Amino acid sequence: MNSASGMAVENHELVVQVAEISDLFTAPDTDRLAQHEGEVMGEPALLRVVRRLMAARKIDDSARLVVLLPADKIEPGLAERARAALTRYCTLKLEDNDAQLRITRREAARLLLRGLLILAICVALSSLFRSDVITFLPPFLRNTLGEGFNVIGWVMLWRPVEAYFFDPLPIRTSSAVHRFLSSLQLEIRPQVTV
């Protein structure tokens, strides 16, 4: 791993360099001239780990998280405390994702009901304009309005279907990643200074 990359995968290890152990969970101050990626980006190292895991096609079940820390920042019991904090964070994130999924499903159901009502109204209007009941408009305009209402009705279902079937996907992916993170072994090693 080169020292400028904040995280790398080597020998089934997710390796991340931080200046402080708190940088794993909390965003450090942004410093564009800093050595560690988290300080340059001003975001927690764990957020970058999660993002890269979510972007990966396959997550290696035998991987472990290795945190490289300056040697003077490593103290006895730090790995156990960091592991407990990681487990706690993942548990809370999974609970939050479950809540988001419930909210998403409820909103999707509400949107679906509205979409179906609008579809029914639009299909009825489409049928009305295509029928011979409306005689004061020329056939071309009646046909155009009939087709238009038909298209509008089906387009109005787009967002409810998207909300119901596709909006939950990133949340489910995040849950899978956080379940994986909570199962990882965590190891703290001193950084090699060049």
Mean pLDDT throughout 109-126?
92
- pLDDT, residue 107, reads 93
Q: What is the pTM of this model?
A: 0.70
pLDDT band of residue 51 (cuts 50, 70, 90) is confident
pLDDT of 106 over the 60 cut: yes
What residues does each domain of the chain span? 7-89+184-190, 96-175
The pLDDT mean for the chain works out to: 83
CA 36, chain centre distance (Å)? 24
pLDDT band of residue 10 (cuts 50, 70, 90) is low
Contact 29, 44 (CB under 8 A): no
Segment 161-190, tens digit of pLDDT:
999 899 999 999 889 888 888 888 888 898
pLDDT band of residue 15 (cuts 50, 70, 90) is confident
End-to-end C-alpha distance for the chain, whole angstroms: 13
CB neighbour list of residue 28: distance below 8 Å, 6 or more residues apart: 19, 20, 22, 34, 36, 38, 39, 42
